[in-house]
Amino acid sequence: MTEDRPLNVLFLCTGNSARSIIAEAIINRVGAGKFKGYSAGSMPKGQVNPLAINLLNKLNYDTSALRSKSWEEFAAPGAPVMDFVFTVCDNAANEVCPIWPGQPMSAHWGVPDPAEAEGDAAQKALAFADTYRMLNNRIGIFTSLPLKSLDGLSLQKRLDDIGRTKADVTPERA
């Protein structure tokens, strides 16, 4: 990892329409200047879920550049070299990923798919808000890690632990 550029982080999901998109937006805000976030999917839906865009817009995120794209885009020559790759859905974690140039550190940070939520509009919006909260907590922990002082094994353990963190539980739900 070099100090002359932001660290590149790729969030993967199957459809790249909700969770990975939300994670990309969060890390680009929370890690501004230190991290540059991207997202992709193994089988991209081709459009970002409107409920994800709606939530991010309500939280004052710039959503103009967000798009659903294939992970092949980031394995191609000339693509940004990734420092970290995180899967945020269980399906993507079990798929055979492309070989990423630069051998990035990776971990699985699975969260439930809000796009599969059933119920009325309020229940669906709550599912997206929960996904945002979980990813925001995990990304906040990640961006706070003392990366320069951790050796590779220690860092890998921390990344894996973030995916299992109980920081996803809010005080009201504990």
Per-residue pLDDT tens digits for 71-129: 999 988 899 999 999 999 866 556 566 666 677 999 999 899 999 999 999 999 999 99
Q: Which of 7, 13, 23, 53 is catalytic?
A: 13
Rounded Cα distance between 17 and 6, Å, is 24
The sign of the torsion formed by the CA atoms of 7, 53, 22, 16 equals negative
CA distance linking residue 43 with residue 137, whole number of Å: 26
Catalytic residue among 89, 111, 115, 139: 89
pLDDT at res. 96: 60
Mean predicted confidence (pLDDT) in 60-66: 95
- Are the C-beta atoms of residues 141 and 128 closer than 8 Å to each other? no
Lowest-pLDDT range of 6-15, 20-29, 33-42, 102-111: 102-111
pLDDT, average across residues 44-50:
94
- Could you tell me where the DSSP H helices lie in the chain? 19-30, 50-58, 90-93, 121-144, 152-163
Calculated CA dihedral for residues 62, 15, 6, 28, nearest 10 degrees: 20
Average pLDDT, the chain: 88
The answer to whether 13 is a known catalytic residue is yes
Percentage of the chain exceeding pLDDT 70: 86
Whether residue 138 lies in the annotated active site: no
Tell me whether residue 156 is one of the annotated catalytic residues: no
Q: List the domain boundaries for the chain.
A: 7-164
Is the confidence at residue 8, as pLDDT, over 50? yes
**Catalytic: which of 97, 117, 129, 145?**
97
CATH number of 7-164: 3.40.50.2300
142-159 confidence digits (pLDDT tens): 999 999 888 888 999 999
Q: Quote the pLDDT of residue 55.
A: 97
